[in-house]
Structure 1
Amino acid sequence: MAACKPQIEKERDNYPCQGNGKVLFIASVYTHLAAFHIPFMKLLQEKGYEVYAAASSAEGHKEDVEAEGVTCWEVPFTRSPYGSANVLAYRQLRALLKEHRFDLIHVHTPVAAFLGRYLAKTTYQGPVLYTAHGFHFYKGAPRRNWLIYYNAERLAAPWTDGLIVMNGEDFDNARRLGFEAGKNLFYVHGVGVDLSKFSTPVAEKGSVRAALGIDPDDVVITCVAELNENKNHAFLLDAWRAFIRRYGHGHLLLVGSGEKMVVLQQRVEQERIPRVHFLGYRRNVPQILRETDIVTLVSKREGLPKSIMEAMAAGKPVVATNVRGNRDLVEHGKTGLLVELGDVDGLAAAIEKLVSNPEQRASMGAAGREKIQDYSLEKVLTEMAAIYDRYLE
């Protein structure tokens, strides 16, 4: 940073100095913004701000953000910190920030957040908020993650006016980075879940079970997650193969798309793993969950997973890996069951335990529905409105 300072001072006069009611969201991909942040964009629009977004559309869903009246710019970020495309992304974002001045910039996802925070400060933008959807450094993370991501966050801390976290472990790590609770560190209840979509059944066209040829009496286990390495579907398939040998009337629904889809489909076909259904990206997740008996998520790491929140809102028990984020939501033995990463037999046994005990499924589902009230979208919007107001004064 010291080497950049003379150039920054020299170019100070090249940047607009007055804001005109504009807020920018930055993330690596539009998929992330479409899945989690449209309600917050609408909140800011209702407050009278023009909302803009900068991300890569490589994974789609840019049109979903644009449909909400958000001006979207294409910036070719890659998720990997080693991606060469991030050099071009840096240049394009810098050009945008030299042309526009924002009253607030809200950044997400590690790579885009790092570059966005640095460029926001060197182009003299308004305050910068960063939502950490699960730091990539965490208890049990590879040493490489700590070397790269922890040190990156230490470097970026001075460029961060406000840090928003979603789980207890990240809150503790944020304080180690020098952030102070209530001053520039805020704990919110995730990205929120719209309880109205899950609490009252609505008239829907067709049955998911009927479309898939699933008998009404068969047990359905559903995993809603992007098909990538972190979501750990290979581990789930290992356990499913062990479980299905003992129980012949279960179906596993994998909802989501991603880079691992073809590999996972090939494995299911080659190993002849029965009753696994790849549903791809779906917009009718509430309906799928209503027709589900058990929800599972076996990620290697999480921030505060929306899929578990939605499962709890639908009154379903959850089987999840005992990792940060998951255990912030799932109370073992009360709202679901937690299993250790890599414990194939333990995961299969947890699924079997709930499959064979409908009464326990019902009681855990009811407990989850009660707990998730604190994570409602309405509550989170109130929390975020207070944070936005603080920085938009």
Structure 2
Amino acid sequence: MFTNSKGKVLFLATVYTHLAYFHIPFMQLLQNKGYEVHAAASPDGGGKEDVEATGAKCWDIPFSRSPYSPKNWRALKELCRLFEAYRFNLIHVHTPVAAFLGRFIARVKNQGPVLYTAHGFHFYRGAPLKNWLLYYPLERLAFRWTEGLIVINREDFESACRLGFEPGRNLFYVHGVGVDLGYYTSLSSIGEYVRAELGISSSDIIVTCVAEMSPNKNHMLLLSAWKKLSAEYSHCHLLLVGKGELMPVLQKKVRKEKIPRVYFLGYCRDVPQILRESDIFTLTSKREGLPKSIMEAMAAGKPVVATNVRGSRDLVEHGKTGFLVELGDTEGLFLALKSLIENEELRKTMGKAGREKIKDYSLDRVLNEMEAIYMRYL
């Protein structure tokens, strides 16, 4: 499989699910150019099978998302062994813990150049002080081990400049991880099987949130607003797509407070079809880089209600492609969703505007942007 390759490229992230969800097109881009692609991450949470299906060689590294976890010492040792066994022509790192350790060991072990995609720095306007005290100094330190930094929103671009990176030399802005616009167009002839499976009428309203059930995604805000909405609109349904540590807590809240018409769908492979059958998309995160779920919803022609945070506000134009609400503003979220529930024409107008805007974030465009960066270092 790997004979006569031009060289070896490693994709490194804390968990395989990140690589599977965001980076398979870029792995395939390099494979098509003749490079041998490897991937290293923790197998916790799945995703490894999807990465292996591309033909990439996978290496299990027991990273923890917490920078304080002792598991990362073992991950450091495993990473050393991998870099002693292979020399990579290019290493593309993602997610804070894996990116920091990967850049450090790559330099120690004399690996090839390292690219880091910041999917949203953990230090940002409004971030907790502890984030600034931990992550900002680490990124200042890792500057010397980073041949190229890729950012996906304007705020991070400005932060990267302050860290010492120079646009066009070792700092690059790309339009996220891209979304396949053609794929959403091809779904137009598929029936409404999601509604059928859930017993939801074609005339009812579906509001969908696609997000990992973690504290950052802030589902509690959404459920608080939904409790009020569901009491006022009996024809509305909330689909929660994703899983995570907070799923049992959220399910308990729904049961205890008897919040109706909330569906926990877990991990789903048919997210595009779910979005196609939805009427409104919402994301209430406390922090984002450039959320792919919003990009997909806009590609599906859906209006978006999101919190006014970095990344989300790069995509959602308030009053044009959807609405932005402030963190903690339950009433504002309620009113934004209410206005879309009650106005079908507004949903259509905003959905159409969103699909037009998201053309700038098409997968084809992002593949071209990334190809230029990869070739610069390879």
Q: Which among 185, 188, 194 is matched to residue 208 of structure 1?
A: 194
After superposition, residues 58-77 of structure 1 pair within 5 angstroms as 58-77=44-63
Counterpart of 1:89? 75
State whether structure 2 residue 184 is matched by structure 1 residue 176.
Answer: no
Counterpart of 2:126? 140
Relative to the length of structure 2, the TM-score reads 0.97
Q: Which among 239, 243, 266 is matched to residue 253 of structure 1?
A: 239
List structure 1 segments (4+ residues) > 4 angstroms apart after TM superposition.
202-206
Q: For this pair of structures, how many residues does the alignment match?
A: 374
State whether structure 2 residue 373 is matched by structure 1 residue 387.
Answer: yes
State whether structure 2 residue 73 is matched by structure 1 residue 108.
Answer: no
Equivalent residue letter for 2:32: E
Counterpart of 1:14? none
- Decide which moves more: 128-137 or 192-201: 192-201
After superposition, residues 352-371 of structure 1 pair within 5 angstroms as 352-371=338-357
Counterpart of 1:164? 150
State whether structure 2 residue 75 is matched by structure 1 residue 119.
Answer: no
For the residues of structure 2 that align with 1:204 and 1:88, how far apart are their CA atoms?
A: 47
Percent of matched pairs sharing the same residue: 67
Counterpart of 2:84? 98
Q: Is the 8 A contact 1:242 1:345 kept in 2?
A: no
Aligned-residue offset at 1:232: 0.6
For the residues of structure 1 that align with 2:268 and 2:181, how far apart are their CA atoms?
A: 18
State whether structure 2 residue 266 is matched by structure 1 residue 280.
Answer: yes
State whether structure 2 residue 352 is matched by structure 1 residue 345.
Answer: no
Q: Is the 8 A contact 1:53 1:71 kept in 2?
A: yes
Stretches of structure 1 lacking an aligned partner (at least 5 in a row): 1-18
For the residues of structure 1 that align with 2:345 and 2:267, how far apart are their CA atoms?
A: 31
Q: Is the 8 A contact 2:192 2:277 kept in 1?
A: no
Equivalent residue letter for 2:210: V
For the aligned residue pairs, the C-alpha RMSD in angstroms reads 1.1
State whether structure 2 residue 174 is matched by structure 1 residue 188.
Answer: yes
Aligned-residue offset at 1:201: 2.4
For the residues of structure 1 that align with 2:34 and 2:186, how far apart are their CA atoms?
A: 32
Equivalent residue letter for 2:140: R
Equivalent residue letter for 1:217: S
Q: Secondary structure at the match of 1:258?
A: coil
Stretches of structure 2 lacking an aligned partner (at least 5 in a row): none
Aligned-residue offset at 1:287: 0.8
Aligned-residue offset at 1:257: 1.1
Aligned-residue offset at 1:202: 5.3
Equivalent residue letter for 2:20: A
Aligned-residue offset at 1:199: 1.8
State whether structure 2 residue 336 is matched by structure 1 residue 336.
Answer: no
Q: Is the 8 A contact 2:12 2:91 kept in 1?
A: yes
For the residues of structure 2 that align with 1:308 and 1:206, how far apart are their CA atoms?
A: 21
For the residues of structure 2 that align with 1:249 and 1:91, how far apart are their CA atoms?
A: 55
Aligned-residue offset at 1:200: 2.8
State whether structure 2 residue 36 is matched by structure 1 residue 36.
Answer: no
Q: Deviations over 1:285-318 (max 9, x none)?
A: 1111111000000000000000000011000000
Q: Is the 8 A contact 2:6 2:34 kept in 1?
A: no
Counterpart of 2:39? 53
Aligned-residue offset at 1:205: 7.0
Q: Is the 8 A contact 1:108 1:131 kept in 2?
A: yes
Q: Secondary structure at the match of 1:201?
A: helix
Aligned-residue offset at 1:258: 1.0
Counterpart of 2:311? 325
Relative to the length of structure 1, the TM-score reads 0.94
Equivalent residue letter for 2:57: T
